[in-house]
């Protein structure tokens, strides 16, 4: 995505890239005072070796978090659907996707205790996280269906979720 953003971006804008329901990119205007600092850390990140417990795991985590949040907000989600956080917010606000409504709902969620459903009740080593069993329980899905929907289609190494 960083290469796409460098080619497709517009001055004074960030690039919003989405993959669902289809690949799309659109500019997001930035305030005049916004500044990005781009630097090369020279740190080699071999995505082939780290994807299973890095990027791929983050994909699974955000999709499951969306289901858990949807359940808490009483947003209807089909059994085998991989709903995104943006779709949860859209359905929660009756499909109204304008920027003002999105901002209003996100502020409400941040200021309320609605996001507490995404927190673990136990500690994983030195970090707080959610165990696999706890994540399955939070999703409200049977373990087999959870595995089919969230773990069978992507190569990921999931012992716990952060």
pLDDT at 97: 67
Which distant-in-sequence residues (6+ apart) come within 8 Å of 6 by Cβ? Answer: none
pLDDT at 149: 92
Report the pLDDT averaged over residues 33-52.
72
Distance CA 70, CA 85 (A): 8
Distance CA 105, CA 100 (A): 9
- Tens of pLDDT, residue by residue over 106-125, are 788 888 877 777 766 655 44
For the chain, give the mean pLDDT. 78
pTM above 0.75, yes or no: no
Element (H, E) at 124: strand 123-124
Which of the residue ranges 37-46, 83-92, 106-115, 132-141 would you say has the lowest mean pLDDT? 37-46
Backbone angles phi, psi at 28, to 5 degrees: -120, 110
- Tens of pLDDT, residue by residue over 31-40, are 888 877 777 7
């Amino acid at each position: 995505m960083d290469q796409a953003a460098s080619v497709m971006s517009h001055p004074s804008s960030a690039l919003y890239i989405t993959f669902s329901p289809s690949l799309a990119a659109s500019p997001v205007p930035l305030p005049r005072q916004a500044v990005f600092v781009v630097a090369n850390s020279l740190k080699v990140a071999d995505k082939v070796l780290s994807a299973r417990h890095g990027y791929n795991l983050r994909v699974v985590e955000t999709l499951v978090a969306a289901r858990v949040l949807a359940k808490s907000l009483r947003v209807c989600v089909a059994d085998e659907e991989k709903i995104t956080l943006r779709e949860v917010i859209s359905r929660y606000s009756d499909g109204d996707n304008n920027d003002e409504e999105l901002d209003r709902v996100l502020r409400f969620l941040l200021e309320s205790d609605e996001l507490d459903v995404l927190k673990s009740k136990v500690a994983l080593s030195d970090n707080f996280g959610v165990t696999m069993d706890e994540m399955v329980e939070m999703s409200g899905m049977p373990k087999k269906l959870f595995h089919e929907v969230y773990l069978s289609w992507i190569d990921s190494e999931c012992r716990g979720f952060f």
